[in-house]
Structure 1
């Protein structure tokens, strides 16, 4: 590791801390602030307290990070410095020498505080995936730094409680607690203590609710109105049940730690092992997820894409970011999803949002995942509607390549293309029915511009029998996406779709993407996909 890079990370962190301290002091020095302004200042202070904890942690462990990981932290810290400098200059312009704010200027102060909160939230969304990736690094310094920062966090939490900070902001300081929990379950030497296995009789399986176009079901707890999302993994198809069970339990323990709003994933509630009625043999593993507290209606992204667009481009972009953040976190947890498509992306609408295109959106469909450290089975299927979201080397009955994180990136690219165009690539003959049994199909949509026959292998293709599908999607992105979502979004989609191409400078060299802790591909994903998406605004 270059000492210059480590010093640059630490220097960037220190500059951010100095600017942040100056901004908070400027806000706190405001005189004649009314109750509304004072409450907003406390929110900014709470956000900054979380940022300080995370930035100080990076300073402690910078020496353990690789060159590219250091580089992306330097870039993200510069973004924060710029935001803090602008906010400080703006607040200084509203204050007189005595710290007074004229009454007619107070609305501008409130607006400035709202903008500061928004900018800090935006930066936090960019920073979190980079920060959590540190947990993959196999160095004991990470553990000691987490323990030290955890003590600091507890002290700050106590201060915030004494100041009666709103619960939404005080919960943000739980980030180190989440990180500690994740670090523990990521360590194979740590003996698992979290309760994962749930009894078969705890859910009302007979009253399961299907979600249109999705294999995820919504099932109530027995003798209760409380509902859960359930992904079922069939164990009767000759797979290694022992390995699958170990992977499922490992993933469930990691997903128990998640903050759904931060990661775009629902928190795991546990696993139910269901056995065959006549044999002592596991028939299925069922991953149980807690639903958002106020969720009322559940809708798959496939169903939303079949409806006319009812939301702004900003909301569409937010959905794309949420999906990308979810995939980043799954990879941080050392898993590949293997099933990313609109059917596995669910929205949960509450009373206010149930008539909109979608509400809070999360990635589910955990029926094909695997640990990145174990070889995947290369058996596939001929279902064109699934192969559409698979990389050409993963299509067909026998996949050419073992599954890697880059294959998830390709699947993301297809979804981002579909989301950007806001149209479904798949149609069913009974689009407008809400009854699962009435749905027939599927068939390729007119927008996709392909026929079912196009998904048959072409032996004459030098780059693989299914490469024409990827080429068609790339051309579709180039021709249709810029006028809808702009050049930057289009570039991200094409980067994802070509992530395993030889000429792709971002992801193409698979051998060059391997490192001891599996951090490099995660850094590259954040740099080339997440940061670019976050740089787009409408």
Structure 2
């Protein structure tokens, strides 16, 4: 079905016809991108597994219905006169104008439907890049050869196949097949992002533009060389991201910090806050000499992220949650939830687990009129490759444990980390967004104290949990209590969050949003229907398919 053929029906000689044509061009552009992706998918269909094929078939059936509706609507608006002169519904100019007013909303709705379909389609389509097959490599090469004329920065919107090639090139877990973007060490000045795991930074000398700097410490249990390899792989993967499409900032490179240099300046020694209007870092001088990333004199590594153009004001999700929601609409909350779920999905598409999903690891951009929301997942200090081993170590930080699955809490977690643990953390964040209540509060209000960073403290949510615990204990049978205090507290916290979702969310966010949150929080429970059969024996790709089919599809289907 060629939507582009509709353009010939548009009457360019009339003002109203021009307005129709403008919208048809948008539809045509959507279809041009979609057609390239669908054609590629059809060619590799024989190697797709059953679950992914089922998802794709359902999506294509939706697309067929949407396109049929689009063509019928536009043909109704355009119409044709008996003598071949195109007009709107065959009436005079005033009638055409009336017809356009009548159909304008319908045409605009078609555009929204196509954009929504594309948003649902892309996660599954990019998941195809993880299939190990020479067929995909061959078909990608053919598709890219046909698009050599494309210019400018490749994005998912203008060149999805080029982005797919970049993604596929960095998926293998080795540095030989991925360019490792190493940047030279240089003194930096910093700009705090309130209640965030990251900072804005720029070189002391040189360009005045800024980057987001995400610092990864070399812990006492880790080998510097291993950490260096993993960080370079992560940087190589994130250098291929389209931020607006993936919810992951594009990585310029990684900097190794010598042990004699602090990761950030001492309190009070950094230059005063700089205007964040110019964002980015200069490219290293050709004469700069970068240190070997495998050297043992590095105590930290810094991931350097580009900030998308036009997003001068970025704040953490924690800072948003600590403010009243009287100026945050239901539409904005749904957009934040969709964007965050999208970011978590693409973390897994890039074949690693995040391990630190919480509001401090989320940067949000909200334009002044509230018509646009972008969410970016940062805070990669605990990441690892999805298929790699994991250090079975944790901590007793209550402000972090509230976002961890019970089996991942405490100094000695009971379970190795897997994708479902990220999904659980997402559920806690979506619960906070839904009831707009921060589970962690900070000393010093919402301004960073001059003496250093604010410290987390118990808030009202913690005391409500304590009240809930006392009530449960009063009603409980002592013989049913777990023997481990930590196990008892961790699983009781999970039960409390699930109950909070089921009782507080329906009236505020609706039944569909409630189902998403509960499904995330119970994704490892045997009775969870959305993730039924997804345990530690199944592939990560199957977990991703279930996540796309349930969490992302349900969030996208919420109408506000």
Quote how far apart the aligned CAs of 1:453 are: 12
Match in the other structure for 1:5:
none
Aligned residues: 499
Measured at CA, do residues 440 and 366 of structure 1 come closer, stay the same or move farther in structure 2, by a change above 3 Å?
Answer: closer
- Pair 1:500 & 2:551 matched: no
SS in 2 for 1:86: helix
Q: Is the 8 A contact 1:197 1:270 kept in 2?
A: yes
Preserved CA contact (<8 Å) 1:304 1:358: no
Q: 2:543 aligns with which of 507, 511, 521?
A: 521
Find the partner of 1:439 among 436, 454, 467: 454
- Structure 2 partner of 1:449: 464
| Partner Cα separation in structure 1 for residue 75 and residue 394 of structure 2 | 62
2:303 aligned to which of 287, 304, 322: 287
What is the match of residue 10 of structure 1? none
Q: Distance in 1 between matches of 2:388 and 2:469?
A: 32
Q: 1: distance between equivalents of 2:175 and 2:485?
A: 47
Q: Verify the 8 A CA contact 1:340 1:411 in the aligned structure 2.
A: yes
Stretch deviating more after TM superposition (382-391 or 104-113):
104-113
Q: 1:218 maps to what in 2?
A: 200
1:420 matches 2:434: yes
Say whether the 8 Å CA contact 1:219–1:230 is kept in structure 2.
yes
Distance 1:484 1:252, change over 3 A: same
Q: Give, in angstroms, the shift of residue 41 of structure 1.
A: 2.5
User: Which residue of the other structure, out of 375, 381, 400, is the alignment partner of 2:414?
Assistant: 400
Q: Residues 169 and 260 of structure 1: is their aligned pair in 2 closer, same or farther, counting only changes over 3 Å?
A: closer
Q: Could you tell me the TM-score, scaled by structure 2's length? A: 0.83
Instruction: Give 3-state SS (helix, strand or coil) of 1:90's partner.
Output: helix
Instruction: Give the distance between the partners of 2:224 and 2:431, measured in 1 at CA.
Output: 35
Contact 1:299 / 1:348 at 8 angstroms: preserved in 2? yes
Is the contact made by 2:181 and 2:252 (CA closer than 8 Å) also made in structure 1?
Answer: yes
Shift of 1:40: 3.0
Deviations along 1:377-427, one digit per CA (max 9) or x if unpaired, are: 111111111000000000011000000000000000000111111121122
Deviation of the 1:462 alpha carbon: 11
For residues 448 and 49 of structure 1, do their structure 2 counterparts lie closer, same or farther at Cα, with a shift above 3 Å needed? farther
CA contact (8 A) 1:301 1:346 kept: yes
Gaps of 5+ in 1: 1-17, 159-166
Aligned to 1:339: 356
Return the match for 2:319 from 283, 295, 303.
303
Is 2:441–2:456's contact at 8 Å kept on the other side of the alignment?
yes
- 2:389 alignment partner in structure 1: 375
Residues 450 and 197 (structure 1), Cα distance of their counterparts in 2 relative to 1, 3 Å cut: same
For residue 266 of structure 1, the aligned residue among 249, 256, 261 is 249
**Normalised TM-score (structure 1):** 0.86
Cα displacement (A) at 1:346: 0.8
5+ residue gaps, structure 2, are: 89-95, 262-294, 471-480
**Offset of 1:440 from its aligned partner?**
4.1
8 A contact 1:345–1:362 mirrored in 2 = yes
Q: Could you say which structure has the higher helix fraction?
A: 1
Q: Which residue among 136, 147, 157 is the counterpart of 1:142?
A: 136
Aligned pair in 2 of structure 1 residues 193, 239: CA closer, same or farther (>3 Å)? closer
Contact 1:264/1:325 (8 A) holds in 2 = yes
CA distance in 2, matches of 1:170, 1:262: 8
Superposition map of 1:176-255 within 5 A: 176-188=161-173, 191-192=176-177, 194-201=179-186, 204-205=187-188, 207-223=189-205, 224-255=207-238
Does the aligned pair in 1 maintain the 2:225–2:296 contact within 8 Å?
no
Residues in 2 aligned to 1:272 and 1:169: alpha-carbon distance in whole angstroms: 25
CA distance in 1, matches of 2:460, 2:503: 17
2:400 equivalent in structure 1: 386
Match of 1:534 in 2: 556
Q: Is 1:477 paired with 2:501?
A: yes
- Is the Cα contact below 8 Å between 1:410 and 1:497 reproduced in 2? yes
**Cα distance change, pair 76–50 in 1 and its aligned pair in 2 (3 A):** same
1:128, distance to aligned residue in structure 2 (A): 0.6
Distance 1:386 1:463, change over 3 A: closer
Deviation at 1:433, TM superposition (A): 3.0
Q: Displacement, 1:187?
A: 3.0
Which of 450, 455, 468 in structure 1 is aligned with 2:492? 468
Determine the structure 2 residue equivalent to 1:117. Answer: 111
Deviates more, 1:415-424 or 1:503-512: 503-512
1:79-125 alpha-carbon deviations (Å, 9 max, x no partner): 22222222222223223333421243234555444333322221111
Asked if the contact 1:513/1:521 (under 8 Å) is kept, the reply is: no
**SS in structure 1 at match of 2:328:** coil
In 2, Cα distance between equivalents of 1:229 and 1:58: 35
Q: Radius of gyration: which is bigger?
A: 2
CA RMSD of aligned residues (A): 2.8
Contact kept in structure 1, 2:519 and 2:528, CA below 8 Å:
yes
> What CA distance in whole angstroms lies between the structure 1 residues aligned with 2:453 and 2:134?
56
